[in-house]
Structures are given as C-alpha cells and as structure tokens.
Amino acid sequence: MSTTALRILRLRKIRWLYLAGFIAYLQLTFVLYVNSNFIGNLLGERYVGVVYIVSAFCSLFTFIAASQVLRKLGNYRSLVIFAALQMGILLGLATVTSPFLIIVLDILLLGLEPAIFFSLDIFLENYSHPGDGEDDVTGGVRGLYLGLANLAFVIAPFIMGAIVGLEEHFRSVYFVSVFFLIPFLVVIALRFRNFVDPPYVGIGIRDLLRSLRSLARNRDLFGVFSSQLMLRLFYAISVVYIPIYLHVHLGFSWPVLGVILAVTQVPYVIFEIPLGHIADRYLGEQELMILGFVILGAGVAAISYSQAASVLLWSSILYLTNVGGALVEVSTESYFFKKVDGRSAHAISLFRMIQPTATLLGIFTGSVLLFFLPLRYLFLVFGILTFCGVFFASIIRDTR
C-alpha cells in the first residue's frame, strides 16, 4: 500500500476514534457528576472519599493488568470486554437496592472505567503517529480528540440535570449510560475488528518500579508526569466535591447545576483544538502549561471565598478555572504523546495511572481534611497545591 493510501486509512480510523471517544466520554460524564451525590446519600459526604480511594486502588490494578491483557487478547478484544463489563455494572447500579451491592458495583465501575480510555489511547497512537516524511501533528490530533471528548462534558450535564430533576432520580442516569455504550461497541466492532496489534511490553510490579526510577531520572518525563498529576488532583476534587458543595451547601437544584456545569466545560471544547495546533507550530507546550497552572490555581483557590448562591458568579469562577485546566490538559497530553508511540503500552499505562493515583491522593487528603476543615476550605488547599504545577512545567525542555 502506498504512503498516501496509508495516510488516508489512518485519517479515516482517527475520525472513527473521535466518534468513539466522544461517545465514551459522554457515558462517563453522566456517571461522574451524579456519582458523589448518589454515594453521599448512602454514606454521608465525609465518607464518599472512601469509595473513591478503594476504586482508585482498583484502577491502579487495572492498569498494571491491562498490558498483560493486551498481550494475550489484543486491544480490540480487550476493549470489547471492558465495555461489556461496564454495561453490566451500570445495569446493576440502575436496578439493585442493596446499599452494600451498590457500593461494590460503584467501586468496580470507577475502577474499570479508565481501562476503556487506555485502549482508545492505544488505537489513537497507532493511527496518529507520523509516517516517514510526514509532519508531527500529534498536538492537533490530541487537541481535536480532547476537544470532542470534552464536548461530551458540555452536553451531558444538560441532559443529566433534566433526568435527575428536582426529585433526584440518580438511578435513571446509570440506566441511560448503558445506552451510550451500545453505539460505542458498534463503532469499535465495525471499524477496528481487524486491528493489527503492535508488540506490547508487559508491565508488572517490578517493571513499574523500574519505569518509575527511569522516569525520575528523565527531567522531561518527570516534569510532564508531575504536571499531569497536579491537573488530575484538580479533576479528582472537582468531580467529587464541587457538585456536593454547590448542591448540598449552596442549594443549587440539579437542573440549575446541570446548566452551570455545562457552561463551565466550554473552554475545553473551544480552546483545546486551536491550542493543540499552537503547540505544534508556534509556542510549544511549556508556555501553555505554565499559564494554565497560574489560572487554574487562582480559580480553585477562589472557590473558597465564594459563598453566594449566584449562577453568574459560579459560572464565571468555574469557567475561568477550566480555561486553566484546558491549557494544562492539551499541553501535557501533546507533550507526552510526542515522546511515545503506539508500541509504548507500558509508558501510556503509566501515564494513565496518574488519574487513579491523583484520585487516591486527592480524595484521601480531602477526606482527612474534612474532619478538621469546612468543605469550602478544601479548595483553598488544593488551589495552593495546583500552583506547584508551575515548577514542574518549568523544568521540561520545550518542543519549540
């Protein structure tokens, strides 16, 4: 097959991955925003973190096991199995009444979810890595992928708020999420059944420790991994504690909360695609990371000082905060994926393990602090921590 034909084939596959990623993120968003309140109704807000901590351990185990599963089953079969299991868990959450079973299923849900996006990363890296004589467009591909994925974070809260409503029908959200996985599986089955897997390098506990030691000695990878960790700390506390704070403490209804969350996710949609191209062609990633962390840290800290139940005020604060988040997200993703290709399953696995690690650290810290501080001061602490990202971003060697 000619170089031109291969390039066209890759572009077609990437377009289908954009669609699959959008659907997967739409399903994920439905679950994330209501989940902490749903579990909080069962356990109380101080103990919500326990569920997320246990699920983070499950996610870490999932990532360690994922590369072994890839080697035995291949990426296509692995993804189909992950999605099918997710459908079963969501159906369970929508129907079971036992509090114990709900907690177990919720832990499994949160623990398994990252595996789906890990598999999508493998597909995307195989088709987006440039061929001989082609320009590196990783930033543009990643920016568009993230932009479309984050479009789901804009659309889903509107629908979620309407479904949950004033009477808080949380179970309906889990049931609707199942239906989003059906077209996702159809796309994967029709377009990626014949995917040819690259050779994968398995990663066990010893491999993980060895990779972490190598990571610590490489300032570029250490910087981008640490920057991603700071970003994921923000995501962890925002997904769990911001809905609780706005709904329980400030009294926003779910339909209103859905509008606020939708509007404030817009920066991820409108900024990440052009920012990906800017990182490829003009500035590089370092400047975008540093600016993003300054904005993000200021926005998170500002949450602590805002107690008025004003839709405009909270939309403005969270919008500004997510502008910083968008800058950091696209720059760290672009920088990292310029350093690896689709064969680097172990490196991608480590990078994606940052999410459960950040969830573990962030929610554990938040759970402990809640025994000593009101919920709103949690955001001041994490705002200060987020500013540490400026240091980590400053130590990498920029791509331009």
pLDDT over threshold 60, residue 376:
yes
Structure tokens given for 204: 């066990």
Q: What's the pLDDT tens digit per position in 208-257?
A: 667 677 677 777 778 888 888 999 888 888 888 888 888 888 888 878 88
Instruction: Evaluate whether 264 touches 337 at the Cβ level (below 8 Å).
Output: no
CA 358 to chain centre: 11
Q: What are the residue boundaries of the structural domains of the chain, listed by start? A: 3-394
pLDDT over threshold 60, residue 273:
yes
Instruction: Provide the CB-side half-sphere exposure for 31 (13 A, CA).
Output: 28
3-class secondary-structure state, position 136:
coil
- Confidence at 186, pLDDT banded by 50, 70, 90: very high
pLDDT over threshold 70, residue 168:
no
3-class secondary-structure state, position 338:
coil
Instruction: Evaluate whether 269 touches 135 at the Cβ level (below 8 Å).
Output: no
4 CB burial (10 A radius; 0-12, 13-18, 19+): exposed
- Give CA–CA dist 129/290, Å, rounded: 26
Q: What's the pLDDT tens digit per position in 142-158?
A: 667 877 877 887 887 77
Structure tokens given for 90: 């969501």
Q: What's the pLDDT tens digit per position in 316-326?
A: 889 999 889 88
- Give CA–CA dist 36/51, Å, rounded: 9
Instruction: Evaluate whether 364 touches 64 at the Cβ level (below 8 Å).
Output: no
- Confidence at 2, pLDDT banded by 50, 70, 90: low
Q: What is the pTM of this model?
A: 0.75
Give the pLDDT of residue 133.
Answer: 46
The pair phi, psi for residue 110, each rounded to 5°, is: -70, -30
Superfamily of domain 3-394: MFS general substrate transporter like domains (1.20.1250.20)
